[in-house]
Amino acid sequence: MASTAGTAPVAVDAKPDTGRRRGRTGYLLILPGLAWLVLFFVIPFYSLIATSLYDPNGSDFRGYDMTYHIQNYWTAIQEYWSPLLRSLAYGAIATLLCLVLGYVLAYAIAFKAGRWKNLMLVLVIAPFFTSFLVRTLSWKLILADDGFVVDLLQTVHLLGEDGRLLATPVAVVAGLTYNFLPFMVLPLFASVDKIDPRLIEASHDLYASSFVGFWKVTWPLSLPGVVSGTLLTFIPAVGDYINAQLLGSPNQRMIGSVIQSQFTDANNYPIAAALSMILMVLILVMVLVYVRRAGTEELL
């Protein structure tokens, strides 16, 4: 080991010895996977940027001219700012709700489940193995106008005589919250499970109430899980349009649905690509601001 380390003085003062071998084999092993990602992830992203700058007067039959038509972005924002903002808002609300539900669940599994820990963890993911669309359709049935949830809410007067849940923002946000819950629970659990319960006991010995103990000990220690869980929930939730389409009405249309139909129905590739780029940039900016404020930059 000493002889190999000696040939690379940089590695010596960076970290002791990772036990990693050197040589060409490593590159050969990673090359196919990397090539796939470059071909079908990096290059497509470049095509997306290019497409967003094409002359909008072309079509996929006649072909598009590259005219660096920045105007596409302006058109896209002007026409679709409302589904764009709506998606960000729905995504944010659903993420918050997931955080509350997910935290309770992760905390219960980590500290209260005892020997049922593994079982509960399995139960958390099990429902999500059923098809996303089939699950969402069954929410449609549960929230239906003649369903028992609406009936119940009408009896306790939380909902008016002809009030409904389907085709409202409530249904869409509820669907998003439900479908992305495991993305929140799993990272949260990983973080909460690592917390030494003796630290919490110590806070009670020092006369902290349950709430103060939670706020000053558990919560800060679980922050890495909170940050990665909220990101893993927020990003797919903003881009999703299945819930909005199946549980909402055209008034709850989300940006993913606009992008999809601009591509496949309207054949308006430049605008669709520009919208995709805008969504990506907005999410990126929000994530960066959020991560900076949460003060956990080293996580990314």
Partner 1 sequence: MGALRAEARNRSDPGMRWVREHLVLILGILVLIYTFIPIFVVVLMSFNDPASRNVYRFDGFTLDNWTNFCGAEGMCDALWKSIQIGILATLASTILGTLAAFALVRWEFTFRSTTNLLIFLPMAAPEIVLGSSLLALFVSAGFAGQLGFWTILIAHIMFCLSFVVVTVRSRLAGMSDTLEQAAADLYANPRQTFWRVTFPLVFPGILGAALLSFSLSFDDFIITNLNAGTTTTFPMYVWGAAQRGVPMQVNVVGTLMFAVSVLIVVGAELNHRRRVRALA
Cβ count within 10 A of residue 51: 21
Name which position in 13, 146, 161, 298 contacts partner 1 (CB under 8 A).
146
Closest CA to 106 of 175, 11, 196, 194: 194
Cβ count within 10 A of residue 128: 16
**CA distance linking residue 40 with residue 245, whole number of Å:** 28
**CA distance linking residue 36 with residue 95, whole number of Å:** 32
Name which position in 41, 62, 161, 298 contacts partner 1 (CB under 8 A).
41
Q: Which C-beta is closer to partner 1: that of 70 or that of 126?
A: 126
Least CB distance to partner 1 at residue 71 (A) = 18
Least CB distance to partner 1 at residue 94 (A) = 14
Name which position in 62, 131, 160, 198 contacts partner 1 (CB under 8 A).
131
Identify residues 156-185 at the interface with partner 1 (CB under 8 A). Answer: 178, 181
Identify residues 49-68 at the interface with partner 1 (CB under 8 A). Answer: 50-51, 60, 64
With CB under 8 A as the contact rule, which of the stretches 75-83, 113-121, 164-172, 192-200 interacts with partner 1? 113-121
Closest CA to 184 of 228, 219, 125, 221: 228
**CA distance linking residue 93 with residue 290, whole number of Å:** 15
**CA distance linking residue 255 with residue 278, whole number of Å:** 10
Quote the DSSP letter at residue 299: G
Name which position in 6, 12, 40, 289 contacts partner 1 (CB under 8 A).
40
Q: Residue written as tokens 């946000």?
A: 173
Residue 211 identity (one-letter amino acid): F
47 is an interface residue for partner 1 by CB under 8 A: yes
> Taking CB under 8 A as the rule, which mask of x and - marks residues 267-296 in contact with partner 1?
--x--xx--x--xx--x-------------
Total interface residues for partner 1 by CB under 8 A: 90
Q: Three-class SS of residue 111? A: helix
144 is an interface residue for partner 1 by CB under 8 A: yes
Name which position in 2, 14, 122, 158 contacts partner 1 (CB under 8 A).
122
With CB under 8 A as the contact rule, which of the stretches 36-44, 150-158, 194-202, 288-296 interacts with partner 1? 36-44
139 is an interface residue for partner 1 by CB under 8 A: yes
Structure tokens belonging to residue 40: 């079908």
> Taking CB under 8 A as the rule, which mask of x and - marks residues 213-252 in contact with partner 1?
------------------x---xx-xxxxx---x------
For residues 109 and 120, is the Cβ–Cβ distance under 8 A?
Answer: yes
Region of residue 164 (left: phi > 0; alpha: psi -120 to 50; beta: else): beta
Structure tokens belonging to residue 8: 């690379």
**CA distance readout (Å), 218 to 167, 215, 221, 222, 270:** 39, 6, 5, 6, 48
111 is an interface residue for partner 1 by CB under 8 A: yes
With CB under 8 A as the contact rule, which of the stretches 70-78, 100-108, 163-171, 192-200 interacts with partner 1? 100-108
Name which position in 5, 70, 89, 123 contacts partner 1 (CB under 8 A).
123
195 is an interface residue for partner 1 by CB under 8 A: no
Least CB distance to partner 1 at residue 246 (A) = 6
Q: Three-class SS of residue 223? A: helix
Name which position in 259, 268, 271, 291 contacts partner 1 (CB under 8 A).
259
